[in-house]
Structure 1
Amino acid sequence: MTLAQLKAFLAAYELGSFTAAANQLNTSQASVSELISRLEQEVGLSLFTRGGRRLHPTNAAIELRDHAQQTVTSFDNGIQALRSITSLEGGVCTFGVLRNAGYYDLSDLVQRFHKRYPKVKVRLVGLNSSLVAESVANGEIEAGLVVLPVLERGLVVKPLFRDEVLYASTTRSPRRGPMTIEEFAESKVILYDAYAGWNDPTRKQIQERAQLRGLKIVPDIEVEHVETALNLVSTGAAGTIVCRTIAEGPGFPKNIKTVPFAEPLYDTLALVQRESSYLSPATRRIAQLAEGTLLAKVRPEQRIPTVPSERTGRADSREQTINAS
């Protein structure tokens, strides 16, 4: 069994024809047909049946596919690793960051990275976490920092720490105690990340809590940036939500008071990368720099320890790629 046979098999499996597979592999239809025929002879099973103009995978092909994909991916990653040894002397690093990165001391991340590796070009994307996760899963950027929950399909996720989410207002007295979801649903609120809307991870958590109680959250004002929301809150226009890191920052308006939610609410910050992908050395370095910066800022009790696997006692396999980085 050869890599060429497995690549031909995977291309035919995904595209449904030897001709399309040949075009993708830049070879002839006869070559693809011969490679798969030899693979079938080796395993002693038919891998495809013809139905109309399209190939249909047999049960044997369905069983083989994941193993073939792992083998080809592992080989490609090994070649990429060898080619990337000198990539810190050039190339491009792509990394996604939180929109509110400045509050986590990440505003000078590029400057610090570029000082160490001046020959590497950097593409730093600052979007809502849901969009960063989508961009990583699609292969548009190599890795990124997000707030959970995001759609994790196709991603390796490494949770780092939790940051409590608070209710912020100039008109609600903290003496009234924590904010319940019922009171929040009845309050006049300003929410940011308007473009992401209810795909925003923090908003999503609040909406899910409200729905469990038959409530609906309808913001009175939506803006894009947390700074705009806080400026409006400081005028008494309405309340909003902020994480504790922002509330305890030096630029937080003095007249705004915060209270926790009755059922504590947290943003969980995490590193994500695409599943089965190889991070370039440059992206590994900037991810390490970002992780170190974040963890240096938080208290030990906020950190999320790596959970051992029940089977092996080691770190969960979904996190090992980033840990190894």
Structure 2
Amino acid sequence: MTLRQLLYFLGAADLGSFTAVAARMQVTQPAVAEQIRQLERFLKVDLFVRLGRGIRLTQSGEEFLPHARRVVAAAEEAQRSVAGMRALLGGTVTFGAFGAPAHYGFAALIRDFATAHPAVRLRLRGRNSSEIADAVRAGALEAALVVLPVNDDGIDVEPIARDEVLIVSSDPDLTRRPLSIEQLAKSPLVLYEAQYAEHDPTRRQLAERAQTAGIRLEFPFEVEHLDTALQLASASLATTYVPSAVTRSPVFPANLTTGSFDPPMYDVFAIITRRGTRVSPATGEFLRRVVRHMRGVAEPIRRDADDG
């Protein structure tokens, strides 16, 4: 079974005539008929009923039709993808990222992309994941890397990696063993991302756990930046939380200790795109690099059909 045979088959199904297919494809009618016969021999079924002045699909042909369309569409998509890669001689990447990509080596990712494609402009926007999702939904950004959960109205979401969220305290006794949300609630807390509050994905996870446990989290401190929360924890004023990647940063205070939640809690990273649209070749190539990079620096998440 070849792509040419499938194209002739689809043409015949649409036009109802081998002669019409031959005219469209600029080949002879016998050539079309022979390719269809070879396809029928391969499938071991008749695909068409030959009529006096035309053809019509058999029941087997009707069953085969949607499969043939999918195969041809996939082949055309693959061809467009390769053509797009060859055409990366310009264009602009419009991409958004969650608030702290530096902890995941984004500078190196951007450097490598710029080296490989120096003619491509990079326009990267970094904010809280909830705001980035709104920008993708509105069409201001082609794609983004966000932390889940986000509102998925109008966007496609593909989880790709995750990183454990750790409890951070200057008291090693507090972090010696995993803490439930009830145990954590007994410590003074400092929460960050104050501007986004309940819209911040990690804070949403904390709030959902507290609600399930029937408790309310009280926090004497609420700040905007993660670094400020770490400084307060380092000064023994409060307990906070960070993705594990932050703890490997050279600026992570040396006197802080870390521990897990019970059960463990994760930041799940996902690629989002606007539903029903196709990203530009430049942004598509940057997306492929982002997925590969994040699966290298965090725990990969792959779908069953993902070939990696």
Q: Normalized against structure 2, the TM-score is what? A: 0.68
C-alpha separation in 1, matches of 2:86 and 2:137: 26
8 Å Cα contact 1:89/1:120 also seen in 2: yes
8 Å Cα contact 2:175/2:257 also seen in 1: no
- Structure 1 stretches of 4+ moved >6 Å: 81-86
User: Which amino acid letter does the alignment assign opposite residue 225 of structure 2?
Assistant: H
User: Which amino acid letter does the alignment assign opposite residue 141 of structure 1?
Assistant: L
> Which residue matches 1:265?
265
SS of structure 2 residue aligned to 1:95:
strand
Q: How does 1:61-140 map to 2 (within 5 A)?
A: 88-140=88-140
State the shift of 1:277 in Å: 0.8
C-alpha separation in 2, matches of 1:161 and 1:139: 24
Report how many residues are paired: 231
SS of structure 1 residue aligned to 2:203:
helix
State the shift of 1:91 in Å: 2.5
State the shift of 1:174 in Å: 4.3
Q: How does 1:245-264 map to 2 (within 5 A)?
A: 245-264=245-264
SS of structure 1 residue aligned to 2:207:
helix
Q: How does 1:160-179 map to 2 (within 5 A)?
A: 160-171=160-171, 173-174=173-174, 177-179=177-179
C-alpha separation in 2, matches of 1:286 and 1:220: 41
C-alpha separation in 1, matches of 2:295 and 2:302: 12
> Which residue matches 2:70?
none
User: Which amino acid letter does the alignment assign opposite residue 127 of structure 2?
Assistant: L
User: Which amino acid letter does the alignment assign opposite residue 301 of structure 2?
Assistant: I
- Deviation track 1:63-96 (CA, whole Å, cap 9, x = no partner) reads xxxxxxxxxxx9xxx9xx6996776222221001
- Deviation track 1:129-186 (CA, whole Å, cap 9, x = no partner) reads 1111111111110001011111112221111122111110113514652222112223
| Runs of at least 5 residues in structure 2 that lack an aligned partner in the other structure | 1-72
> Which residue matches 1:198?
198
| Runs of at least 5 residues in structure 1 that lack an aligned partner in the other structure | 1-73, 308-313
Q: Normalized against structure 1, the TM-score is what? A: 0.65
Q: CA RMSD in A?
A: 2.5
Q: 1:220 to 1:212 in 2, by over 3 A?
A: same
- Deviation track 1:26-72 (CA, whole Å, cap 9, x = no partner) reads xxxxxxxxxxxxxxxxxxxxxxxxxxxxxxxxxxxxxxxxxxxxxxx
> Which residue matches 1:306?
303
C-alpha separation in 1, matches of 2:207 and 2:259: 19
User: For structure 1, which segment, 169-178 or 98-107, has the greater mean C-alpha deviation from structure 2 after superposition?
Assistant: 169-178
User: Which amino acid letter does the alignment assign opposite residue 152 of structure 1?
Assistant: D
Q: 1:200 to 1:258 in 2, by over 3 A?
A: same
SS of structure 2 residue aligned to 1:249:
coil
State the shift of 1:123 in Å: 0.9
SS of structure 1 residue aligned to 2:272:
strand
8 Å Cα contact 1:192/1:224 also seen in 2: yes
C-alpha separation in 1, matches of 2:230 and 2:286: 30
Q: 1:270 to 1:175 in 2, by over 3 A?
A: closer
8 Å Cα contact 2:132/2:146 also seen in 1: yes
8 Å Cα contact 2:175/2:258 also seen in 1: no
Larger Rg: 2
Q: How does 1:29-48 map to 2 (within 5 A)?
A: none
